[in-house]
Structure 1
Amino acid sequence: MNRASIVALLLISVLVGCSSLQFNDPLKAFEEANHGYRQAISWSEFMVAATFLKNEDEAQVEEQIKLLDNYKVTAYELRTMTVVEEYVRVRQVVKISYFRKDDLVVKSMADDQLWEYNPELRTWQLTTGLPKLR
């Protein structure tokens, strides 16, 4: 086997192994959900970020997204992360830097997040809502 074939085989093995882990390891699933949420917020894709919310009033979320669409996120940094109840809850604090599109003054806020694992859906959901940018 040449080197390229070995590398391709190893890459496929890692991807297959990791994809099966997400169903057996809730903390691995948290990393993936948290990564997706972080990317959505970092790109100011608040509609995408809302898909990670647990049991939110749809009308309220739509109203909040309208308000958030006036903002642009410039940074999303993890400050602290604590596993509150293993495989069930994770609390984290992130620093979000942002500006209002018509103001251009960069502000920062601490967003205290509580995530809960849903074993039926085998996914993590954010219980504390979208960030409150002001």
Structure 2
Amino acid sequence: MNYIQPFKIKILLLSIIFLVLSSCAIQSYEMKEFDKSYRLYEKAIRWQDYDLMLGFHKNATKKELSESRRKKLKQFRVSGYHILFTTIDPSEQSATQVVEVKYYNKDYNVERDMTITNKWEWNEQIERWELANPFPDFR
């Protein structure tokens, strides 16, 4: 009988430890959406889907992508997009992501790079992440 009690206690302790560890691994809805958002934005910038990119920028309008700007953007190709680091606010309502974008100008065959600090904000009303910084400026 004495053998059964310690066995039950061990099972109980192992169950508690398992529950605690598994609850730590659960990601919040906002963080899952953040992962989706920044990955989709990365694909959009790599594939030059400027309309999709613009949709991520807070307060952005279609006027920002005028016909002349679209024509100018066609001369650039993104050759690399590397996330240098990501910082997430403890409240999980904002995040800062520093990325390095490598691109080349097809007209001059020159590769350049720029470092962008993306400031992501969770919009509670529409339940999605938005970029607070302006549309990237390729030069």
TM-score (norm 1): 0.75
Cα deviation 1:42-94 (Å, max 9, x = unaligned): 11222221111111243124364443232110010000111135221111110
Counterparts of 1:53 and 1:65 in 2: how far apart (Å)? 17
Corresponding position: 1:108 with 2:118: no
Counterparts of 2:69 and 2:81 in 1: how far apart (Å)? 19
The 3 A distance-change label for structure 1 pair 108 and 53 is same
Which of the residues 11, 33, 36 maps onto 1:32?
Answer: 36
Question: Helix, strand or coil for the counterpart of 2:78?
Answer: strand
Question: Helix, strand or coil for the counterpart of 1:51?
Answer: helix
The answer for unaligned runs of 5 or more in structure 2 is 1-25
In structure 2, what is the equivalent of residue 71 of structure 1? 76
In structure 1, what is the equivalent of residue 45 of structure 2? 41
Counterparts of 1:26 and 1:103 in 2: how far apart (Å)? 42
Counterparts of 2:88 and 2:65 in 1: how far apart (Å)? 27
Name the aligned partner's letter for residue 91 of structure 1. Answer: T
Counterparts of 2:84 and 2:70 in 1: how far apart (Å)? 24
In structure 1, what is the equivalent of residue 62 of structure 2? 58
Name the aligned partner's letter for residue 32 of structure 2. Answer: K
Assess if the C-alpha contact under 8 Å between 1:88 and 1:116 holds in 2. yes
The 3 A distance-change label for structure 1 pair 92 and 64 is farther
Matches within 5 A, 1:12-31: 25-31=29-35
TM-score (norm 2): 0.72
Corresponding position: 1:126 with 2:131: yes
Instruction: Name the larger-Rg structure.
Output: 2
The percentage of counterpart residues that share the same residue type is 27
The answer for unaligned runs of 5 or more in structure 1 is 1-20
The 3 A distance-change label for structure 1 pair 69 and 81 is same
The 3 A distance-change label for structure 1 pair 66 and 84 is farther
Q: What root-mean-square deviation, in Å, do the aligned CA atoms of Structure 1 and Structure 2 show?
A: 2.0
